[in-house]
Amino acid sequence: MSIGIYGVGFVGKEVAELAVERGRSVACVDVDPEVVERIEAEEYLAVDDHDRVSATTDGAAVAAAADTCLVTVPTPVDGAERVDLGPLRAASETIGEGLRSRDAAEPCLVVVESTIPPGTARREIAEVFDTYGLELGTDYYLAAVPERVDPGNEAWPLEAIPRVVGALSDDGLERATAFYDRLLDAEAHPVDSVEIAEVSKIVENAFRDINIAFANEIAVSLDSLDVDARSAIEAAGTKPFGFMGFEPGAGVGGHCIPVDPHLLIGEAEDAGFTHELLSVARTINNQMPEYVADMTVDALTRERVLPQDATALLLGRAFKPDLADDRNSPYFEVREGLTEYDVTVETYDPVLAAESSVDSPYQPVDAVVVVTDHEAFADLDPERFADLGVSTVVDGRDVFDAEAVEAAGLRYDAVGEV
């Protein structure tokens, strides 16, 4: 018997690799034939034992043979900032179809690792299974174990991260907890309901979003008062209790922090509650790319360069340092903001070279704007910028040393620094 993994993106890929490393056979299911072909060609998963891996677009056949089905499909928000459960429903229907023809003594364990609003497993997935005539505890167990993958974080690999486990039944909770106890080196933490598990992931990321928003608002506020916000936050961090410092920056990107709060905002709104704090935090963080664009135009103007005559080089397109992923990156809003001022925009990102408009960070431009704090940017030389005619550096990620930039004769402006 094998593990079926539905959706082999960033999350599903890491889960599949860990499962194979632990000696399990994995059947990868994806709607993208190209992903399936790459898995079959041994070009996608970083595993030693490819004999334990198969891939297909036929998810029903996998569910019919698997003892465990892990759902790792995306749950994005739409234009109205409401969760799109279409991929999750499609995966549930595929699994339901397969489970209906499954012939096994033990129920199949179905685990949703996708981030979902509280109540989704019970209301959406279980109801889909009902339409296939499936019975909880007889044909399947249903659990929610929200993913905690942090791509690119070598300090916290998947197996080292504790997981929250919730299920629709006691037997399902026991089975799911045992599964993750075997899969992980870290603790599997069972909770009293599937809804607690579902919402725990949203609470985690909303906490980060709120605290980043606080740091960003402090940065914008203190800039108007000519006070260095980063130094103030660092000073506050000397208190050994009751304070956790977050850094201001050019904006929040990725597929989790800018998205997950909306899953709770929308669900609570349907129940008659308005999440004012979560909504304000989203607004503040969404405004930061525009703030960086405005800061850049102001710096150019002070250097007597008209926006319509200026060229700005954006350093970084990825939403996260040293990760080749630009989903929801603040880069796009910074670029749009500058374009609205008629500034010509070039892009350099060492981890997204194909998406870069230039092949070097050293260009004859008027402004250099840091959007992503890639490790390689820490070694950039302000003197070389000056030699190329750059007049200003706008640092959205605290990458450059202000004194070094100013010693090169350049103007230096940064989010949270004065």
CATH number, domain of 414, equals 3.40.50.720
Clarify whether residues 205 and 144 are in a common domain.
Answer: no
What type of residue is 47?
V
Q: 218-273, pLDDT tens digit by residue? A: 999 999 999 999 999 999 999 999 999 999 999 999 999 999 999 999 999 999 99
Q: Which amino acid is at 18?
A: L
Shared domain for 147 and 237, answered yes or no, is: no
Pairing state of beta strands 311-315 and 344-348? parallel
Distance of alpha carbon 331 from alpha carbon 167, whole angstroms: 39
Please name the residue that has the structure tokens 């929610």: 144
Pairing outcome for strands 140-144 and 163-167:
antiparallel
Tokens at residue 338, please?
Answer: 């500058």
- Whether residue 226 is found in the same domain as residue 264: yes
Q: How many CA atoms lie within 13 A of 118 on its CB side?
A: 17
Residues 73, 7 contacting (CB under 8 angstroms): yes
pLDDT at 276 over 70: yes
Question: 236 with 346, same domain?
Answer: yes
pLDDT digits (tens, 9 = 90+) for 294-318: 999 999 999 999 999 999 999 999 9
Question: How confident is the model over 69-84, as pLDDT tens digits?
Answer: 999 999 999 989 999 9
* Cα(121)–Cα(119) distance, integer angstroms: 6
Domain count, the chain: 2
Residue 52 CB-density burial (10 A; 0-12 exposed, 13-18 middle, 19+ buried): buried
Which percentage of the chain shows pLDDT scores above 70?
100
In degrees and rounded to multiples of 5, residue 115 shows phi and psi of -75, 125
Query: Which residue type occupies 35?
Result: V
Looking at the structure, do residues 164 and 259 belong to the same domain, yes or no?
A: no
Q: Give the C-alpha separation, 50 to 137, whole Å.
A: 33
Percent of the chain with pLDDT over 90: 97
Residues 351 and 219 in one domain: yes
| Range 136-158 average pLDDT | 95
Same domain, 179 and 237: no
Q: How confident is the model at residue 187 (pLDDT cuts 50, 70, 90)?
A: very high
Residues 165 and 204 in one domain: no
Contacts of 71 (CB under 8 A, 6+ apart): 6, 7, 88, 91, 92, 95, 110, 111, 112, 113, 114
Residue 184's φ and ψ, nearest 5 degrees, are -105, 160
Same domain (yes/no): 138, 253? no
End-to-end CA distance of the chain: 61
Same domain, 11 and 107: yes
Which residue range forms the structural domain that includes residue 46?
A: 3-192
Q: What is the mean pLDDT of residues 58-63?
A: 98
Instruction: Place 1 in a pLDDT band, splitting at 50, 70 and 90.
Output: low
Which residues in 92-215 belong to E strands, given as ranges?
A: 108-112, 140-144, 163-167, 188-190
Q: Which of 136, 170, 192 is the last residue of a domain?
A: 192
**pLDDT tens readout for residues 352-389:** 999 999 999 999 999 999 999 999 999 999 999 999 99
